[in-house]
Structure 1
């Protein structure tokens, strides 16, 4: 699936430290910073740090280009998205390795991101060819249409953990539906969250100006959110930043799509297969070092099987290898940076000080944190109340289904929940009571198939969803259009 080295997509001499504005790589006014590989500490690239002036220039270019793109034949827009998918496939191995190295993920995680990005582009290619409205009832002689039209320029602010997926899942459908996009990826992942998309869409024939890509910090983000030429913001990240963006967007009367995090509960009932449940919990909590908005950060287990499940998870924590994810030899890679690691480490040990028991892990070598198990976790403890965003199983026990529901819903909302039981009816009845945007029966919480609406209430986001049937709703707006054959007479 790989591309020959001579046909490499990524060229640091071309894009390192740059912003992609109006189809060209440029030096930003805001400067640049070094990007290091989490696993080795080696310098990988340089990231641009766009400032507000850089952002305003990019927005102007996107605004100028969008109207012609919206008027482009839908088949031509679809063709660009299909060529983008082909480009991702052609460079599969190169891009998967780049993602593993820049994010600290294992190679399989990098491969997953590229596979999903391909499918996202393929799905987006179908959007321009779907019906874009309805003919409404009207008085004789009048044609009345409700149609979907592009917002215009959409600002996309994406995070470090799954940078390609969490950027392209907004970029691709937004472009397909006739919008221009200004993308601001995290400065820790400027290549896999930004440069890949800039290069792929340019090579796919996307006209200049329609995709602007500027890594940056809060200054650039605030400029994007507050600019009157950007009527919609799609943000993926922390609840704290999401609140700030929601506040600014509301003040400027913008549409905003927030995908955040919150509490994700994996409920394991007393009739569950223990080996299978332990495997599910370990994957849901520890995959990509728990740096996933859907991670199973609370494992609610029936008291009858709690000790047996704990023993299995402690054993797994003891033998799962941690190290350089790109090597293909480990199950967990490093955390993204020292700031993230220190926050997580403090959360673990503060929870122990509050009365939880450290059963496994709780230590690290460099940025590589051992898979960690805490038992006796209860409401009021930090790892119960706060999203860990690290490789942590919080074991919380319950005695009845009602108690499990009460514990799971003891939060301000979340993206994902799951219930494991041999009794599907019982699991479904419990799952329907959980306050989550997505609920999975006999699975763990980390699930996304590109064709499903993705979002959640409360700390999960603002109840909005992206993906699948939600994309036309998100990236277009309603417009009412009426037509009469001639102007009627009016009484005034």
Structure 2
């Protein structure tokens, strides 16, 4: 959590104790615009920097991030409520994003076919966009920040980064320090700290050519509308109401293990979390019992001082929203199997059974540790239920028959599907992005990152120079 002082500082505090962790300057709209101008001034020089040099800086940054791994992990735990295992993974995943971006910087560009006029020499290549604005959420600030910052820098853009006010240190200051120490020139990465006003100024800045936003669908729609009006490129990675489909041939204990991880990791505060467990009616009771048993056994507590598996929810407002969603679901006929009641700063892993598409909890994203269970009779109904959502981020099909799972997965309307696994997976080399209310398709990973953070530039040369009738 964070507080704002009278002197204009944003102070980050530990969620559990309120202890001060550090302060950063709170940016006014004017300060955001000034930072964007500095990034724009640095853009030509950075774009002209040899790709191998850009790659070397990013590789050094990965080394430096890992040298500071314990410090970064502690920040993620204390500032954002991560458990230690999640924090460890996130720091190393952030380093992997830097290394993957370094590879993108020096990768040969895919050849483009010649033009139709044999008398013209043609050169077609991808070039940087200029200044890329990056707005990062609090739940995975290192990973989700590096996922945009690293490839944008690698491909020759400068970056204006705004972390979430809940996590200004792990999502902002850490980036600036590590990349500066790695040799990134001044102005190539500008970090601004603030709330929605700072984010709006970033999006509107005439010096920002593109916006990469990860966060809620509601805010994403506003950013998309503004970017569209200003004719800016925008990558939106938004919410998810992800389906986890369990077929009748599944090993129930293994399926429940994967389902528990997918729903309750980081207190369910993950866009990729398994929210809707769609389970064949022949195994729905045994699966629900196994999932609830695992949920009830998870250790709840302070992840910085204990070996807790479930840490605190990010703030009191989010606790209230989770509790209200569970209460409404029960009032509409859902069966509360385990959990369901606020415990101080925590919300216990919760399983709701007998959920139907007529209930709001089936459709609305509950950004917390709540798994809903809905039964289906056959694969046709499973596909219909999975696709009955405005969202389309990730999904998973759990089965012992990989080919059957592959066939069902091809019918699900979303950006990413995992067969024989759960919904929370990340690979910097693979495209990632959702459809519908989950975003505007892939903007991250491999070729998708190149497509997102560069544009085409076409050059033709006629020799001798041409003349025309008038």
Please say whether Structure 1 and Structure 2 have the same fold, judged by a TM-score greater than 0.5.
yes
> What is the 5 A alignment of 1:398-477?
398-477=376-455
| Counterparts of residues 84-95 of structure 1 (less than 5 Å) | 84-95=61-72
Equivalent of 2:8 in 18, 26, 31: 31
Equivalent pair of 1:456/1:465 in contact (CA under 8 Å): no
Q: TM-score, normalised by structure 2?
A: 0.96
| C-alpha separation in 2, matches of 1:230 and 1:427 | 43
* Deviation (angstroms), 1:47: 4.7
Distance 1:370 1:17 in 2: 26
Contact 1:39 1:323 in 2 (8 A): no
Q: Aligned equivalents of 2:188 and 2:45: distance in 1?
A: 10
Separation of aligned partners in 2, 1:262 and 1:93:
31
User: What is the CA deviation profile of residues 90-109 of structure 1, one whole-angstrom value per residue up to 9, with x for unaligned ones?
Assistant: 11122112111111010111
1:155–1:291 Cα change, 3 Å: same
Q: 1:133-148 counterparts in 2 under 5 A? A: 134-138=111-115, 139-148=117-126
1:54 to 31, 46, 71: 31
Deviation track 1:406-457 (CA, whole Å, cap 9, x = no partner) reads 1110011321100011222221111111111000000000001111111010
Q: Quote the Cα distance in structure 2 between the aligned partners of 1:72 and 1:17.
A: 39
Kept in 2, the 8 Å contact 1:133–1:148? The answer is no
Which whole-Å CA distance do the structure 2 matches of 1:140 and 1:306 have between them? 65
Is the CA contact 2:10–2:23 (under 8 Å) kept in the aligned structure 1? yes
Match of 1:162 among 140, 145, 152: 140
Q: Distance in 1 between matches of 2:3 and 2:309?
A: 31
Deviates more, 1:367-376 or 1:133-142: 133-142
CA–CA separation in structure 1 for the residues paired with 2:27 and 2:288: 47
Match of 1:72 among 29, 41, 49: 49
TM-score, normalised to structure 1, is 0.92
Can you list the C-alpha shifts for 1:283-314, whole angstroms capped at 9, x where unaligned?
00000000000000100011111111111122
Give the superposition deviation at 1:353. Answer: 0.9
2:284 aligned residue: 306
User: Unaligned 5+ residue runs, structure 2?
Assistant: none
CA distance in 2, matches of 1:37, 1:93: 16
Counterpart of 2:158? 180
Structure 2 residue corresponding to 1:126, chosen from 97, 100, 103: 103
Assess, with a 3 A threshold, how the Cα gap between structure 1 residues 121 and 328 changes in structure 2: closer, same or farther: farther
Is 1:113 aligned to 2:90, yes or no? yes
Q: For residue 102 of structure 1, what is the aligned residue in structure 2?
A: 79
Distance 1:17 1:63 in 2: 31
The corresponding residue for 2:360 is 382
- Number of the residue aligned with 1:82: 59
In structure 1, how many angstroms separate the alpha carbons of the residues matched to 2:92 and 2:306?
A: 18
State the aligned residue count. 468
Q: Distance in 2 between matches of 1:161 and 1:124?
A: 22
Once the two structures are TM-superposed, the CA of residue 129 in structure 1 deviates from its matched residue by 1.3
3-state SS in 2 of match to 1:82: helix
1-structure distance, mates of 2:233, 2:187? 22
Q: What is residue 12 of structure 1 aligned with on the other side?
A: none
* Counterpart residue number, 2:190: 212
Task: Tell me the secondary structure at the aligned position of residue 34 of structure 1.
Answer: strand
The unaligned stretches of length 5 or more in structure 1 are 1-15, 19-27
- Could you list the per-position Cα deviations for residues 174-229 of structure 1 after superposition, in whole angstroms to 9, with x for gaps in the alignment? 01111010001101000000011000010000000010111211111111111221
SS of match in other structure, 2:417: strand
Q: Residues 392 and 35 (structure 1 numbering): CA distance in 2 closer, same or farther, change over 3 Å?
A: same
- Aligned-residue offset at 1:49: 3.0
Contact 1:233 1:256 in 2 (8 A): yes
Taking the aligned partners of 2:25 and 2:290, their CA distance within structure 1 comes to 45
Q: Find the counterpart in structure 2 of residue 24 from structure 1.
A: none
In 2, distance between residues paired with 1:74 and 1:328? 45
**3-state DSSP of counterpart to 2:304:** helix
Offset of residue 44 of structure 1: 2.5
**Range moving further from structure 2, 107-116 or 325-334:** 325-334
